[in-house]
């Protein structure tokens, strides 16, 4: 069965998309630790990052770099990354622009309008 992220990439489940190319897709995490918390996902569905082909692996990290720099430019905040992969068995990298309120693992409740505004601001 397709992962929830494959369904998002296929447009079967909605997402607050901020970036897409032929190998990767990026969208806002629905349980954000900071405003702008983004997930970068390879389009190919593998559970663990180290299962990716070299091509897909490098494409993922190239997108991580591009999107992180863009988020930093837009927000003026340092972007930190984490790779956890305990919940969704589809490889992904978390990007979070840090602000004063950030606490590791503590999530924010945002309205749909707030998500939309953030996604519009961060889209590239």
Instruction: Give the catalytic positions in this structure.
Output: 92
What is the per-residue binding string for ligand AMP in 46-85, x denoting contact by CB under 6 A? --------------------------------------xx
What's the rounded Cα separation, in Å, for the pair 48 and 34? 24
Q: Is there binding between residue 86 and ligand AMP (CB under 6 A)? A: yes
CA distances from 122 to 12, 99, 102, 112 (A): 22, 16, 19, 15
Q: Is there binding between residue 119 and ligand AMP (CB under 6 A)? A: no
* Smallest distance, ligand AMP to C-beta of residue 57, A: 17
Residues 20-49 that bind ligand AMP (CB under 6 A): 29-31, 39
Q: Identify the bridge partners of residue 41 per DSSP, sorted by sequence position.
A: 25
């Amino acid at each position: 069965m397709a992962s929830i992220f494959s369904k998002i990439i296929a447009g079967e489940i909605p997402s607050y998309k901020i970036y897409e190319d032929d190998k990767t897709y990026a969208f806002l995490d629905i349980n954000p630790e900071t405003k702008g918390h983004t997930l970068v996902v390879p389009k190919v569905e593998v559970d663990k990052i180290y299962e990716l082909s070299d091509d897909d692996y490098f494409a993922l990290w190239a997108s991580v770099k591009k999107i992180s720099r863009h988020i930093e430019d837009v927000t003026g905040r340092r972007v930190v990354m984490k790779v956890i992969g305990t919940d969704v068995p589809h490889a992904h990298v978390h990007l979070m622009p840090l602000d004063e309120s950030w606490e590791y693992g503590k999530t924010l409740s945002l309205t749909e309008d707030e998500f939309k505004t953030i996604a519009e601001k961060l889209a590239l």
